[in-house]
Structure 1
């Protein structure tokens, strides 16, 4: 039953449009919170809450570098292999990301 409960939580996590957008963006590259904040137009605490849920459910990994936290897909999660091809690329998000200043330029 424990495995089933974990799967239910993963699907609940995937049931959010913002988290699906995040996974779509992470498909191509590692990103920091400030990149996601810029693209998604939500607050840093809002992004952090989404990332926490994705991380706790094993969908993303985090890496710290100085004061910045970078996120990438957890390629060991078999559910991601199934779900990623279904997540469309959102061109507007990609354009915003290409113009985002990035964490290292912020103080």
Structure 2
């Protein structure tokens, strides 16, 4: 198995992005689920502009990608990213955050933008 490497500058930049608790939690959620900003707003009890800023940083780094679904934008982990193996290694050490989405579902707020 070939292990891909990322130069130190890029790795530091990705790890700095993931060093933020909100972004790290977002990425862990996206590891097993696709989400829209409105779900993150509910999960993190933060404003839509604040959440959009976090998502934009992850997207600009290539960690996250977006897909349009009607008028909504759904975010997912970018498994084609050159940083995906590094991100996956980090996520391997983080406990599942899926309970946050289960709580949303129980409140009837899962994909509340539809």
- With the shorter chain as reference, the TM-score category is 0.7 to 0.9
Q: Name the structure where helix makes up a greater proportion of residues.
A: 1
Residue aligned with 1:27, SS: helix
Show CA shifts across 1:23-76 (max 9, x none): 121122111110111111111111100101111112111111232111001112
Aligned to 1:49: 53
Equivalent of residue 75 in structure 2, options 71, 90, 95:
71
Aligned to 1:16: 20
Aligned to 1:103: 113
Indicate the RMSD between aligned Cα atoms, in angstroms: 1.9
Whole-angstrom distance in 2 between the partners of 1:18 and 1:52: 13
Segments of 4+ moved more than 6 angstroms:
none
Name structure 1 gaps, 5 residues minimum. none
CA contact (8 A) 2:29 2:98 kept: no
Aligned to 2:101: 94
Aligned to 2:34: 30
Q: How many residues align?
A: 103
Flag the 1:63–1:91 CA change in 2: closer, same or farther, 3 A.
Answer: closer
Q: How many Å apart are 1:85 and its aligned residue?
A: 1.1
Whole-angstrom distance in 1 between the partners of 2:98 and 2:76: 20
Q: How many Å apart are 1:91 and its aligned residue?
A: 6.2
Show CA shifts across 1:86-105 (max 9, x none): 1212465233332325211x
Question: TM-score scaled by structure 1?
Answer: 0.83
